[in-house]
Amino acid sequence: MVVLLEPVYSRLSELPALYYNGTRLVMGLNELTDVLINFLKQMTKENPNLLTVPLEFKVACFTYKISHQEALQIFINYCTIYHTLKPGYTRLYNEALETIFQYLELKRPGTEPVVDQGSETQGCLLAILEEVIENGASASRVKKEVAKQVNRLIKSTPGTYYPKPRILYLDEETPLELSKDFCAMCELYECHPAEILDYYMSKVSIAEMDTRHDLKIEEDNCSMFFFMATVFNYLQQHKELLKLTDQEDAFIQEAEEYRLYLYPIKNLAHRTRLLKEFYEEQYFSVNPNELNYVN
């Protein structure tokens, strides 16, 4: 697609003229902006190293005063090869991994979340696993060994499934550093890091969480649990964020009142949708610029 933008100076009323594959299109500024936004959207779709953050995830991050970058970085850091091998439950690490496995299950139903048999890396990892179980090696020793293998894996593979250098972008100025472990997993499970992060973001919805709480329906969303638990830790470390401005305080009160107002609606999906719209409205009232990027 060739788009040539050329200002037409001869007649001011026709300011921007757009050429598309040789045909000249004259349009108003609004239409022109639409065309450009669509064009940019296409560009971003074509660039797999640029993440698109869905609105619900933005709303969730905004509500708990954590940046998208920080929230995603925390998720990446909790995905480790060591914990895929370690038997038993480790809080937060298991929830992060469960998110990845859920995505893999969705992408390739029925297959084990393990790569094809006989590959060298797979063999190494299995050997380590055996060591964990049989020799009762100390955790630090196993961790060291896993790190060594991960390094080897990263060096020996061409990086088909992750970007090199190991960075994803939320926009031009916001990089997201992919850990070696995360990249190694993408290589083992044959998926791009952006796919996993997209899935994680799509699972986070505070509207659904709050509605489930109000309707007393049990929550089985491990990604949401992970998000809330890590945000809680984050806020504990950044106590200054816990002080609310008058506006934030008003938002919380409005939201609580609205949740009571929704009491008569017993359908989970319906109630979630209404609460979601309410949260989005609050979000847009503070970030009016975001409205341009929706749809």
Partner 1 sequence: MNITVSNDFAQMCRYSQQTPEEVLQSFADQVSYPLFFTTKDRNEKLATYFFIQLIQSPEFKGQINESLEEHYFMQMATAINESFAQYPGDEEKAIAIARKIMEQWAKSAVAERSRYLTDDL
**Could you give the 3-state DSSP secondary structure of residue 261?**
helix
Residue 218 lies near partner 1 (rule: CB under 8 A): no
**Could you give the 3-state DSSP secondary structure of residue 49?**
coil
**Among candidate residues 86, 91, 190, 89, the one with its CA nearest the CA of residue 145:** 86
**Among candidate residues 123, 130, 238, 132, the one with its CA nearest the CA of residue 188:** 123
Residue 20 lies near partner 1 (rule: CB under 8 A): no
Of 219, 257, 277, 281, which lies in the binding site for partner 1, with binding defined by CB under 8 A?
Answer: 257
- 37 near 3, Cβ under 8 Å? no
Q: Cβ closer to partner 1: 106 or 260?
A: 260
Residue 266 lies near partner 1 (rule: CB under 8 A): yes
Beta-carbon count within 10 A of 266 CB = 9
Taking CB under 8 A as the binding criterion, the range among 74-82, 85-93, 182-190, 256-264 that sits at the site for partner 1 is 256-264
Residue 248 lies near partner 1 (rule: CB under 8 A): no
Residue 260 lies near partner 1 (rule: CB under 8 A): yes
Kind and range of the H or E run holding 171: strand 167-171
Residue 265 lies near partner 1 (rule: CB under 8 A): yes
Taking CB under 8 A as the binding criterion, the range among 76-84, 136-144, 176-184, 258-266 that sits at the site for partner 1 is 258-266
CB of 254 to partner 1, least distance (A): 11
CB of 244 to partner 1, least distance (A): 21
- 162 near 193, Cβ under 8 Å? yes
Residue 269 lies near partner 1 (rule: CB under 8 A): no
- Report residue 290 as tokens: 């975001």
Cβ neighbours of residue 217 closer than 8 Å, sequence gap 6 or more = 268
CB of 83 to partner 1, least distance (A): 34
- 258 near 278, Cβ under 8 Å? yes
CA distance 287 to 200: 23
CB of 260 to partner 1, least distance (A): 5
Q: Which amino acid is at 53?
A: V
Taking CB under 8 A as the binding criterion, the range among 2-10, 85-93, 142-150, 253-261 that sits at the site for partner 1 is 253-261
Strand partners, 24: 19
Residue 214 lies near partner 1 (rule: CB under 8 A): yes
CB of 190 to partner 1, least distance (A): 45
CB of 227 to partner 1, least distance (A): 23
Taking CB under 8 A as the binding criterion, the range among 50-58, 87-95, 122-130, 260-268 that sits at the site for partner 1 is 260-268
Q: Cβ closer to partner 1: 112 or 257?
A: 257
- Report residue 146 as tokens: 């896993």
Of 7, 88, 264, 288, which lies in the binding site for partner 1, with binding defined by CB under 8 A?
Answer: 264
Alpha helices in 177-286 (DSSP H): 180-189, 193-203, 206-215, 222-237, 246-261, 268-286
Question: Where on the chain is the footprint of partner 1 (CB under 8 A)?
Answer: 214, 257, 260-261, 263-266
